[in-house]
């Protein structure tokens, strides 16, 4: 288990706002999607990961940041080579994330698709729970996982489904979505 003192974080600007990234010597531990301002993003990182020092990212982390920036600018950037440090994450969640990382930009899978690859469609809810706890959104592209019928399903990041749809639109992914009166 990586100790907090061994982890650092940095903020970086993207097309959807200021994101954050946390790393250890073993890889990326967390990505924070934007909150309304930098201070809230910084506070959320520390709430999730502890009192980390803000630092200049080393080369491998800088490369991951650059890839996320490119992806959120609409470039079909593959982030599957970004090294993650998921040692504190349950094995089932890691299995879900591994499959999600195979989804190319602009493409989608359903919770059921991932569940079937893990053993059966009855695991769909568990897949959704795992994705709801994804510590590394963008790198583990949980936004590319949809509900049955190509509907957006849920999204636990700030902005909810609207953020998910924005990220999918940037990538040019097709989503079966008709806003309700309550959106």
For residue 79, being part of any structural domain is answered with no
Work out the number of other CB atoms within 10 angstroms of the CB of residue 70. Answer: 16
**Which CATH number covers residue 108?**
1.10.10.10
For residue 77, being part of any structural domain is answered with no
For residue 112, being part of any structural domain is answered with yes
136 labelled catalytic: no
pLDDT digits (tens, 9 = 90+) for 84-142: 999 999 999 999 999 999 999 999 999 999 999 999 999 999 999 999 999 999 999 99
Question: How many domains are contained in the chain?
Answer: 2
**Which CATH number covers residue 46?**
3.30.160.70
Domain holding 45, by residue range, is: 4-71
For residue 141, being part of any structural domain is answered with yes
Of 71, 105, 127, which one is at a domain's C-terminal end?
71
Contact 22, 50 (CB under 8 A): no
Structure tokens that stand for 121 in this block: 């469609």
Q: Are residues 114 and 164 in the same domain?
A: yes
Contact 178, 152 (CB under 8 A): no
Q: Are residues 54 and 96 in the same domain?
A: no
- DSSP lists the bridge partners of residue 140 as 137
Burial category of 30 from C-beta neighbours within 10 Å (exposed 0-12, middle 13-18, buried 19 and up): buried
| Of 181 and 25, the one with more pLDDT | 25
- Is residue 56 predicted with pLDDT exceeding 80? yes
Q: Are residues 167 and 102 in the same domain?
A: yes
Active-site option among 19, 49, 136, 142: 142
In the chain, how long is the greatest CA-to-CA distance?
47
Structure tokens that stand for 50 in this block: 């502890």
């Amino acid at each position: 288990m990586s100790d907090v003192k061994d982890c650092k974080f940095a903020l970086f600007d993207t097309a959807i706002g200021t994101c954050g990234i946390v790393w250890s010597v073993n890889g990326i531990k967390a990505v924070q999607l934007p909150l309304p301002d930098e201070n809230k993003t910084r506070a959320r990182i520390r709430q999730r990961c502890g009192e980390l020092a803000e630092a200049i990212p080393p080369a491998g982390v800088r490369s991951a940041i650059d890839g996320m920036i490119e992806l959120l600018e609409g470039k079909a950037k593959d982030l599957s080579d970004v090294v993650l440090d998921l040692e504190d994450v349950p094995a089932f969640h890691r299995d879900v994330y591994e499959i999600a990382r195979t989804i190319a930009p602009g493409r989608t899978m359903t919770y059921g698709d991932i569940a079937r690859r893990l053993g059966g469609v009855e695991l769909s809810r568990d897949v959704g729970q795992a994705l709801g706890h994804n510590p590394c959104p963008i790198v583990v592209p949980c936004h590319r996982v949809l509900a049955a019928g190509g509907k957006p399903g849920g999204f636990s990041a700030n902005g909810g489904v609207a953020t998910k749809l924005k990220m999918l639109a940037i990538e040019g992914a097709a989503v079966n979505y008709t806003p309700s009166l309550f959106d």
